[in-house]
Each structure stands twice: as structure tokens, then as C-alpha cells.
Structure 1
Amino acid sequence: MSKTIAKAIHKVASKTRATNLSKVLLVAACTLGFAVSATAAPEKAATQNATITKSSPVFLGDGGDYPFSEAVRVGDTLYMSGQIGFKDGKLVKGGVKAEAKQALDNINSTLLKYGYQKSDVVKCMVMLTDMDDFNDFNKVYKAELAKPYPVRSAFGVAELAAGASVEIECMAAK
């Protein structure tokens, strides 16, 4: 009789372990399912509203004798090399106002060349060899660009290429 009782107890214990194991596995599977759903749901919603694309850089133009590209396009964003007041291979005369005007004209030419316009400019970085020229630069900048103005940084620097007083670097996006 003790063998029969032992077998019965073993059978009940095995069934209980199997049931408990099944419950644990079921809870674990549900928890994992909820965790996956919770992290997947926002991602799914985000991709329904926005198209995510990865775009390789496209290097445009060249710096002629200099080791840089005129611009690089990544997706719909155009990153342009800095421009100084060069026209016909020479720095224009007339100081910071004339140089700023020519640099902005050069930027506009680059924009147009690659299918952009001034209103697509989102960021500019300005380098001035004399921060006392800041107000004169701003007068030209305001005359050449329209509101809403791009975000901008201005830096005082010791020297610029070709003896320029100002250099402007911009980014544009469509």
C-alpha cells in the first residue's frame, strides 16, 4: 500500500509541478508579449506619421584648388562650405559690408545651383575678424535675408582666408 500511496503522491506532485511550470511559462510569455507590444506601439505610431529614410551624403562641386566640396547634400539638407566676399577670383573692395554682400550673393548662387533658395536657409555661422563690424554686418544680413531669420552664431576670429573680414557658412533644408 505504501508503494501505491507513493506513486499517487508522485503523480500529484508531478501534475502540480507541471501545472505550476505551465503557469510560470504562461505569465512569462504574457509579460514578454506586453513588453514587446509596449515598445513596438510608439515606434509603429511614429513610423505611421513620419517617413524615416537614410540618405548617403552627396558631395557637390569642388573647391577648385582647395581640398573641400562646395556643398554636401544629405537627404533634404544642404550643408555649404563657408563663403567669403570673392568675385572673379578676388576679394571685393569696400570692407565688411561689401564682403558680406558678396559672400551672401555667393551663398545664394550655391543655393540656386542645387535647387534651394534663401528661404530654405535654416542656420548660418558668421566669422568676423573685427567684432566692431558686427552692426555693419547685421545691416547687410537683414537686407539680404528675410524674416523669419535662420538661427545664427557669430564668432570673432583672428584671421580669415585671403585677408577677408567676414566668412559665412550656411545650411539649408527643404
Structure 2
Amino acid sequence: MTPTFKEIVPVPALEDSTPFAYSQCVKVGPTLYLAGQCGLGDDHEVVSPDFADQARRALDRVRLAVEAAGGVLDDIVTMTVFLTDTRMGRVFTGLRKEYFGDRFPASALVGVSSLMPLNAMIEIQAVAVLGSGMRDSGARDSGTRDSGGRDSGTRDSGGRDSETRDSETRDSETRDLGGRESGRGDRDA
């Protein structure tokens, strides 16, 4: 077995974290461990007193770290999100949908009393596996569009559209394990 070593991945788009005694991104094999990212600007201070602004910046910083290692957001397999106000959880999940589409990482949302630096309201720590996600944005948005440019259906990883999946689901619900009609809904309780 070939030994796997820890590699510190430089993230030029983020501030140097060595004065704070941590690494922004550490790679072991294809796995990336991302340091907690807050909504910070280049001066290492929070970008705004607004939660949504901080959350967007934290998500952008996570993306920058993954990209520095050659990955994409979709390579993120899990994230732990720390919030100083858990009432902002729904705001965060709405923003996460903008970044991840419908391919969400596993996640935990944890309420904390405070974060570093002062006035930070969110911190996101994540783990990614390089090569595990979709490589281009077109693959994530593979639905068909009508003449007005509106999404007219979405496709799953097998290329089936939502109508096909719904039909297959209905068909499978009406057959038992042996493939016989189950008469579901018509049975006596």
C-alpha cells in the first residue's frame, strides 16, 4: 500500500492563515479538509452586519478553497455550519440551494454563542472528495427548456426526466416483489 501524506494546499484567493496557526485547505489523497470559513473580507474582518451577506461570502470562501485544490463545489460531501442565531438556518439553506442546486452535501447546523472573529454570524467547515462531483455546471442543470427559456423538466443522474421517474414510481408501487399487481389501495386493511 502506498502511503498517503498530508498536503497543505495554498489558497491564493484567501488571506494567509499561518499567523493564525491553521491551514485553509489540507489534502490527503483525494480528500480535502476545509478550514472553517466565515463571511470575511480581505482584511480578515466580517464583510457586513447582514447575515445573508456573511453567509454568501462564507460560501464563496469555501468554493475558493475547493477550487484551489482543483475541485468544484459539488465535490463537497459534508459540511458543518455554525450559526450564532439558529433562526437564520432557513436563510442559510435557501442560499445553499443557490450554490449547490439539488446536489446537497450531508450537513449539520449547530447553534453557538459566538464565533471568531468578533461579529461573525456564520462559519462553514467542509470536507470534499476530489472528483466525486459533477465537473461542469451544465451537468447540474440538465433539464430541458421551453421556447421561453423556462425549465420544463429536470433529469436525474440516470438521465430520466421527472415525468419518467414519476411514472416508474407509480408502476413500482402497483407491483409486489414478485412483479405481480399488488392492488395497493384496494386491499382490506
TM-score (norm 1): 0.67
- Counterpart of 1:87 in 2: which secondary structure? coil
Deviation readout 1:106-149 (Å, 9 max, x if unpaired) = 11111111101111110100000011111111111111112221
Q: 2:67 aligns with which of 82, 96, 112?
A: 112
Q: Which residue of 1 aligns with 2:78?
A: 123
Q: Which residue of 1 aligns with 2:123?
A: 167
Which amino acid in the other structure matches residue 84 of structure 1?
C
Q: Please state how far the C-alpha of 1:54 moved relative to its aligned partner.
A: 3.4
Q: Which residue of 2 aligns with 1:79?
A: 33
State whether structure 2 residue 34 is matched by structure 1 residue 96: no
What CA distance in whole angstroms lies between the structure 2 residues aligned with 1:157 and 1:108? 23
Structure 1 segment 36-51 matched on structure 2, within 5 A: none
Deviation readout 1:74-110 (Å, 9 max, x if unpaired) = 0000101000001121311152211110001011111
- Counterpart of 1:106 in 2: which secondary structure? helix
Q: Which residue of 2 aligns with 1:140?
A: 95
* Structure 1 residue ranges, 4+ long, deviating more than 4 angstroms after superposition: none
The change in CA–CA distance for 1:53 and 1:153 in structure 2 (over 3 A counts) is farther
What CA distance in whole angstroms lies between the structure 2 residues aligned with 1:129 and 1:104? 16
User: After alignment, is 91-100 or 126-135 more displaced?
Assistant: 91-100
Gaps of at least 5 residues in structure 2 are 11-15, 131-189
RMSD: 1.4
- Counterpart of 1:93 in 2: which secondary structure? coil
Total equivalences in the alignment? 123
Gaps of at least 5 residues in structure 1 are 1-51
Contact in 1 for aligned 2:9/2:68 (Cα 8 Å)? no
What CA distance in whole angstroms lies between the structure 1 residues aligned with 2:75 and 2:110? 23
TM-score (norm 2): 0.62
- Counterpart of 2:66 in 1: which secondary structure? helix
What CA distance in whole angstroms lies between the structure 2 residues aligned with 1:91 and 1:120? 26
User: After alignment, is 106-115 or 120-129 more displaced?
Assistant: 106-115
Contact in 2 for aligned 1:93/1:99 (Cα 8 Å)? yes
Return the index of the structure with the highest Cα Rg: 1
